[in-house]
Structure 1
Amino acid sequence: MKIIQMSRRDLLALTMCLAELLAGSIAQAQTVDEFYRNKNIDLYVGFSAGGGYDVYARMIARHMGRHMPGNPNIIVKQMEGAGSVRLANWLYAIAPKDGTTFGTFARGVPLDPLFGNPGPQFKDGSAFTYIGSANNEVSVCGVSAKSGIKSFSDLFDKEVIVGGFGAGTESEQHVKLSNAVLGTKFKLVKGYPGGNDVNLALSRGEVQGRCGWSWTSIRGAEQMGQVKDGSLLIIVQNSIEKHADLPNVPLITDFVKNEDQRKMLELVLAPQKLGRPFFGPPGIPADRLAALQKAFADTMTDPQFLEAADKIQLEISPISGAEMEKIIRDAYATDQALVKRTGDAIR
């Protein structure tokens, strides 16, 4: 019999390989309930604490664990940076892919590679797994009454300073697109960590307004009082359809001059339907992904969750992970010439 001699390094590599195979076999033998029992699930938010994405995540985290097999704890963590692209890249390339980690980042980020925006390490938004979204969002532009702007039409003649917090966020994309396509005179100040920081800058007079601002965030915050007293004016809806609360506020598509302009706006506005989206890393085992998706959907109809959301005026109008994925895939199927013109406009 021939004896095979192995170096210590080869023996160690073989041992590690066998250990990984054994661990994988054990994991495959576990039920979803057994896997999640006594575990924590990390829910990462790509923006600073206190903003809309953070508020939704914390509300969902308090209730979703009850609907998960094994009833794991869901712990919210922040990973802000680059308009939440930092989190998207981490989820794509580094995060555990075993179903113990998911996150929420700017709904426009999955389209960044489509438009050629710098930063993403993924080639297209379909690289992620899709958990679900808490609502179908409508974004707006709000300006201080002190700015002298009375309506969106004023922006064709007068400059207004607005704050932005990342190239992939609506706070910047909607502004750049409006300037490039419609000819408005927004002046964009970049570099804020998140929407809450732009709101603070607005209150201090550092900026005069904010665009790509989720109406649901305004409804549930102190800014709603400013809307009611007239010190904050909502001048346009950056959406394809109007919100029921804002029947007299025009859509940005009302100002297009031709069909190409409309198509460019609608391509960038498509992620509005994603609302407050929750994504997982690629490669989550199918049974655990299904459990996460079902638990999310069940949370969205949980009476305790809905009562808690209503108390702080969080709008809940969910869409499924499958619906989210279709929106992204449809965007990537758009005519490339139109995509290029749109990408050039928002960079």
Structure 2
Amino acid sequence: MIVSRARRIAALSALLAFTAPAMAQNNKDPIADFYRGKTVTIVAGSSVGGGLDVYARLLARHLQRFIPGNPAVVATNMPGAGSLIAAKHLYTVAPKDGTHIAIFLPGAIFEPLFGTTERASFDPTKLNFIGNGNSEAVVCITRRDAPVQTYGDVFQKELVIGATGPGSTLVDYPVVIRNLLGAKLKIISGYKGSREVNLAVQQGELQGICGLGWSSAKLQYPDLFEPSSLVKVLALEDVKPHPELASKNIPLTVDFAKTPEQRQILNLFYTQGVITRPFALPPGVPQERVAALRKAFIDTMRDRELQADAAKQRTDAVPQTGEELQQIVDTLYTTSPQLIGQLKEALNAK
């Protein structure tokens, strides 16, 4: 009896010794195993302090907790060409293993569709979008002492505004309004980022800035609606009202369209306002890692700690999932060639 029990215990121990490695192998998480001990880099296609930089660093502070394996997460900057440099680097140079993420301006997504041939050297539909940090209103702001006091004035008086490079909302938004609707906008481009443009506005070098994200405007001008503020919101560059701005009777630029065709072109162009803070991975990243980072992104953005962090910075963070963003981009690239041609003409006319 004692011998038989001893034999059964010995047999059970042998069985456990044989199956334990297999069970452990089955319970391993390949995503966690890959990311453990690694560093995930988030590249912001703007200078330090710009709108993209704010969102990149906001995500970087919290993402580690939600990626399996808890890798280190760092944010860095790659400004230039309206964030096209960062987007193209992600597309062509960045490792395709899920350790490099980039956030760039929506113009980088639109540029290959609407821009000139020499700048359109990549296919945004092949990027793996993991989410959008915020669907943002875009505004035009001016100094209170500028000769232009209402948006209607820009069709009668010159307004001198600052911008970065082609493909940036700071360039493309005013260019379209100038070429399509006839606004008298003098655009001084070449600034490194929105932070530098706003500094020039504060110093009186410029009269305003258009194509600026509302969250960035609030961050850089917290007293925007105070009568003592240096600047004011001239217009909302969108097709639909924004509650916060509508309460202040800020006009929509689309309402200055003179024909149904102009309105249709602006409706297409302003689609990018839905995806103002897109985060993406390069093409070719294994789909299981794309799925893991999409989940980590949306869980991070909805996390109470991140939302509290965003609130402290006066930054809106109303995210969209990677799947939603991917669908928007794919649909955008099926737009009729005729409408795209009309918008191209408005974007590229001198």
Moved more, 153-162 or 211-220: 211-220
Identity %: 37
Q: How does 1:236-275 map to 2 (within 5 A)?
A: 236-247=235-246, 248-275=249-276
1:8 maps to none
* C-alpha contact (below 8 Å) 1:89/1:120 kept by paired residues: no
- How far did residue 239 of structure 1 move? 1.3
| CA root-mean-square deviation | 1.3
Q: TM-score, normalized by length of structure 1?
A: 0.89
Matched, 1:119 2:99: no
1:291 maps to 292
* C-alpha contact (below 8 Å) 2:82/2:107 kept by paired residues: no
1:224 maps to 222
* C-alpha contact (below 8 Å) 1:150/1:233 kept by paired residues: no
- How far did residue 172 of structure 1 move? 0.8
Distance in structure 1 (CA, Å) of the matches to 2:218 and 2:234: 15
2:139 maps to 140
- Partner SS, residue 279 of structure 2: strand
- How far did residue 269 of structure 1 move? 0.7
Q: Spell out, residue by residue over 1:12-42, the C-alpha distance to the aligned partner (whole angstroms, 9 max, x if none).
A: xxxxxxxxxxxxxxxxx97000000011001
- Partner SS, residue 245 of structure 2: coil
Distance in structure 1 (CA, Å) of the matches to 2:313 and 2:166: 29
Matched, 1:70 2:69: yes
- How far did residue 109 of structure 1 move? 1.0
* C-alpha contact (below 8 Å) 2:224/2:233 kept by paired residues: no
* C-alpha contact (below 8 Å) 1:271/1:327 kept by paired residues: no
**Code of the aligned partner of 2:303:** D
Distance in structure 2 (CA, Å) of the matches to 1:311 and 1:135: 16
- How far did residue 61 of structure 1 move? 0.4
Q: Spell out, residue by residue over 1:166-222, the C-alpha distance to the aligned partner (whole angstroms, 9 max, x if none).
A: 21111111111101111110100010111001011111111110001111112223x
- How far did residue 240 of structure 1 move? 2.0
- How far did residue 326 of structure 1 move? 1.8
Radius of gyration: which is bigger? 2
- How far did residue 230 of structure 1 move? 4.2
2:7 maps to none
* C-alpha contact (below 8 Å) 1:132/1:319 kept by paired residues: yes
Q: TM-score, normalized by length of structure 2?
A: 0.88
1:345 maps to 346
Q: How does 1:34-113 map to 2 (within 5 A)?
A: 34-113=33-112
- How far did residue 251 of structure 1 move? 1.0
Which blocks of at least 5 consecutive residues in structure 2 are unaligned?
1-27
* C-alpha contact (below 8 Å) 2:44/2:76 kept by paired residues: yes
Distance in structure 1 (CA, Å) of the matches to 2:225 and 2:191: 23
**Code of the aligned partner of 1:346:** L
Which blocks of at least 5 consecutive residues in structure 1 are unaligned?
1-28
Distance in structure 2 (CA, Å) of the matches to 1:51 and 1:227: 21
Q: How does 1:316-327 map to 2 (within 5 A)?
A: 316-327=317-328
Distance in structure 2 (CA, Å) of the matches to 1:91 and 1:74: 17
- Partner SS, residue 202 of structure 1: helix
Q: Spell out, residue by residue over 1:59-94, the C-alpha distance to the aligned partner (whole angstroms, 9 max, x if none).
A: 110001100000111111111111111111111111
